Amino acid sequence: MTATRKAPAPAPIAVALDAPDLATATGWAEAVGPHVSTVKVGLELYLAHGHDAVRRVRGASGGRDLFLDLKLHDIPNTVAGAARSVADLAPAYLTVHASGGAAMVRAAAEALPQTRITAVTVLTSMSEEDLDAVGLAGPALDAVRRLAVLAVGAGARALVCSPREVAAVRAEVGPDVHLVTPGVRPAGAALGDQARVATPEQALADGADLLVVGRPVTAAADPGAAAAALAAALRA
């Protein structure tokens, strides 16, 4: 009798479902669900369709983890209320901006203790020149490390940083904080609006726990096949 071959575990990838309509997003979620651990719902989809979008893409993905990427940034009381408003969705990750300060990050963490409040350090679209223009003391690596320490001290259990900063942030915050890296591009892929990038393999080798990938998968002719190929490359 031939033994049944076990399907490989989903890869530590969050596919960004940045679609203008719910039908496209659910189609992507269904296609990538067998291959990845997480689906990411961001501002475009959430603001257009709300809680219904989350429920539908999660169902289409086969119940994968939810990365709710709302990047909350407001006074602590407002952020706490916003976090409580999505508690029924049970996101695995909910993003806030670390630059909102320790009190704001703490408010989110206390409002939603079962979720990994995920503090965004410096957006991966920002270059050194962009940091100078907005008055954020750089270089980027120093700004990221500074914000990472602040956020973890305030209760964040995950951080978003570019793959170029993963190793330094891991050394700064230790092994228990999840590091999430957007700005991941397979070799040869277009950079789009990302300024600080690396390959998925390099990001994982440097200590990332979850890779955020959007257009290299969702803009492919066959998103399911693209997700499967990326997952297989990470297991190689």
> Which of the residues are catalytic?
71
Tell which residue, 87, 77, 146, has the closest CA to residue 117: 87
